[in-house]
Amino acid sequence: MDQDKMIAGIRLFLEGVGETFENGHLDETPERVGRAWAGELLAGYRTDPDQALTWTPTQEGGGPVVVRDIRMASVCVHHLLPFVGVAHVAYLPGTRLAGLSKIGRVVEALARRLQIQERLTEQITATLEKVLEPRGVLVMLEAEHTCMSLRGARKENSRLVTVAARGVLQDDAAVRSEMFQLIGRRP
């Protein structure tokens, strides 16, 4: 990530809006915004989600593991506006159990990139499937997009729901339905 280019671009953006740097009130804004974007809003580019997902061996055949309401924030790649919401993750372990906080770290690593929600849902699912090798995995994201609530249609409190599933949670409707019940949501 080239923070110097980001800072220069932010300065040009502010000048394009009509702001001036004459009275000093904006002097530090480009650097401050550049640090916020590089250091926080897009911090996921510095994290390998596969490496963030550590696990411990277990006997095959354990019951479902469900983590609900993982808070997440991301930035829409189309409008550079935030979307915020929650991720719900369910999986049926094979021989690997994830460290509980590690699922949240995977969500964070992938959400803190320029994203679209549909792709983010698939990426989380693919990471869990690849690293944990579960019998099945299901990921549901619910988020409010400011590109819809602040501009365009201007429909506040509208939430986009996306779902991705693999393995038995994709193939078996009864098992998938049980996971949705455990999550406390319907697709």
Low-confidence ranges of the chain (pLDDT < 50): none
pLDDT tens digits along 148-178 = 888 877 777 789 999 999 999 999 999 999 9
At 85 the pLDDT is 97
CA–CA separation, 41 vs 33, rounded Å? 10
Whether the CB-CB separation of 144 and 85 falls below 8 Å is answered with yes
Burial of 59 (0-12, 13-18, 19+ CB in 10 A): exposed
Whether the CB-CB separation of 62 and 56 falls below 8 Å is answered with no
Reference 70, options 100, 113, 114; nearest CA is 100
Q: Which fold has domain 52-183?
A: GTP Cyclohydrolase I, domain 2 (3.30.1130)
Burial of 68 (0-12, 13-18, 19+ CB in 10 A): middle
Query: Is the Cα dihedral 62, 66, 67, 72 positive or negative?
Result: positive
CB neighbourhood size of 173 (10 A): 9
At 187 the pLDDT is 67
Query: Is the Cα dihedral 180, 70, 115, 45 positive or negative?
Result: negative
Write the Ramachandran bin of 89: left for phi over 0, alpha for psi from -120 to 50, otherwise beta.
beta
Indicate the pTM of the whole model. Answer: 0.93
Reference 30, options 17, 48, 43; nearest CA is 17
Residues of the chain with CATH 3.30.1130.10: 52-183
